[in-house]
């Protein structure tokens, strides 16, 4: 069974640009979660999508947004990039509401210069 | 809201020695608890979880953890570590019957020396 996949592996952008990160969940999983892992800060929850709807968002500004497609894959968009957005962005999937176990992808390393 | 404290940011240990990684949580309601491992340049992998039942939970790679409700702890242990156990370990807590979004600790870097 294929795991959670993310693309690209690495992304380099300049300040003010926009970044788009993609995630494909495990087959049969309907929930997708996005986390930011900045150096020394652990994992910070960004967004949760389930069945195509945004169910919850963390304490991040509106320039962090995303969506979930009918095939349950997801996209994270970060507008007006700032230097402090440099981090590893992790996507996780789960079977949906009622399940607590999350399966993580390898992440996208975003570097903002 | 719940919170998680991983008491050690780094734990150095020699190969074949036992290790304990400490995790304490704070919550006013019942919780579910998890330990994840992150190898270099990889995502997180679930090691073990406590949802209910026996307070001693066994996971993958020879790890186990014990849920102690009175001390609000969920320490991770392994009786004999290998070089390959060198990784970052994260403790996480979710509110039972509530939010599916866990709160993660800041991580403990386990460094196994030969």
- What domains can be seen in chain B, in order of their start residue? 3-113 (2.60.40.10)
The reply to whether B69 touches chain A by the CB within 8 Å rule is no
Helix (H, G, I), strand (E, B) or coil at A85: helix
User: What phi-psi label fits residue A48: left (phi over 0), alpha (psi between -120 and 50 degrees) or beta?
Assistant: beta
Please give the pLDDT value at position B40.
Answer: 87
Q: Write down the pLDDT at residue B5.
A: 95
Cβ–Cβ below 8 Å for A104 and B102:
no
The answer on pLDDT for B27 being more than 90 is no
CB A31 within 8 A of CB B100: yes
Residue B13 confidence class, pLDDT cut points 50, 70, 90: very high
Question: Comparing C-alpha atoms, which of A104, A109, A85 is closest to residue A32?
Answer: A104
Inform me whether the C-beta atom of residue A107 falls under 8 Å from chain B C-beta atoms. yes
Tens-digit pLDDT profile for residues A26-80: 999 999 999 999 987 789 999 999 999 999 999 999 999 999 999 999 999 999 9
Asked whether B59 and B88 are in contact (CB, 8 A), the reply is no
- Could you report the per-residue pLDDT of B48-102, keeping only the tens digit for each? 999 988 899 999 999 999 999 999 999 999 999 999 999 999 999 998 877 788 9
A39 found inside a domain: yes
Residue A102 maps to a domain: yes
Inter-chain CB proximity B101 and A42 less than 8 Å: no
The shortest C-alpha distance from A1 to chain B (Å) reads 15
Bridge partners of B38, per DSSP, are B44, B88
Lowest mean pLDDT of A1-5, A33-37, A51-55, B3-7, name the range: A1-5
Say whether pLDDT at B41 is over 90. Answer: no
Mind giving me the DSSP string for chain B?
A: --EEEES-SEEEEETT--EEE-EEEE-SS-EEEEEEEE-TTS-EEEEEEE-SS-SEEE-GGG-EEEEETTTTEEEEEESS--GGG-EEEEEEEEETTS-S-PEE---EEEEEE-
The pLDDT of residue A1: 66
Q: How many domains is chain A built from? A: 1
Residues from chain A that touch B100, judged by Cβ atoms under 8 A, are 31, 48, 94, 97, 99-100
Question: Mind giving me the DSSP string for B43-68?
Answer: -EEEEEEE-SS-SEEE-GGG-EEEEE
When mean pLDDT is compared over B1-5, B95-99, B106-110, the highest value belongs to B106-110
A113 found inside a domain: no
Asked whether residue A96 carries a pLDDT value surpassing 80, the answer given is: no
Work out the end-to-end distance of chain A between its first and last CA atoms, rounded to an integer number of angstroms. Answer: 37
Q: Which domain holds residue A36?
A: 5-107
Domain contains A112: no
- CB < 8 Å to B49, chain A: 100-101
Nearest C-alpha in B relative to A48 = B101
Q: Does A27 reach chain B within 8 Å, measured CB to CB?
A: no
């Amino acid at each position: 069974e294929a795991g959670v996949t993310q693309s690209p592996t690495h992304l380099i952008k300049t300040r003010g640009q926009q970044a788009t990160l993609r995630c494909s969940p495990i087959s049969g999983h309907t929930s997708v979660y996005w986390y930011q892992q900045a150096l020394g800060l652990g994992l910070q929850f960004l967004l949760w999508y389930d069945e195509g709807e945004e169910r919850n968002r963390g304490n991040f500004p509106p320039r962090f947004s995303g969506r979930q497609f009918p095939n349950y894959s997801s996209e994270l968009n970060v507008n007006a990039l700032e230097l402090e957005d440099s981090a590893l962005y992790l996507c996780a999937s789960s079977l949906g509401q009622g399940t607590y176990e999350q399966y993580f992808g390898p992440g996208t390393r975003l570097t903002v210069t | 809201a719940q919170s998680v404290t991983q008491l050690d940011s780094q734990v150095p240990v020699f190969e074949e020695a036992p290790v304990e990684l400490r995790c304490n949580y704070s919550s006013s309601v019942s919780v579910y608890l998890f330990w994840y491992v992150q190898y270099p340049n990889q995502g997180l992998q679930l090691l073990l979880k406590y949802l209910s039942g026996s307070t001693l939970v066994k996971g993958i790679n020879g790890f186990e953890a014990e849920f102690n409700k009175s001390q609000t702890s969920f320490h991770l242990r392994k009786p004999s570590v290998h070089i390959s156990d060198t990784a970052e370990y994260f403790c996480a807590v979710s509110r039972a019957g509530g939010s599916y979004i866990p709160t993660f600790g800041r991580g403990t870097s386990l460094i196994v020396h030969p």
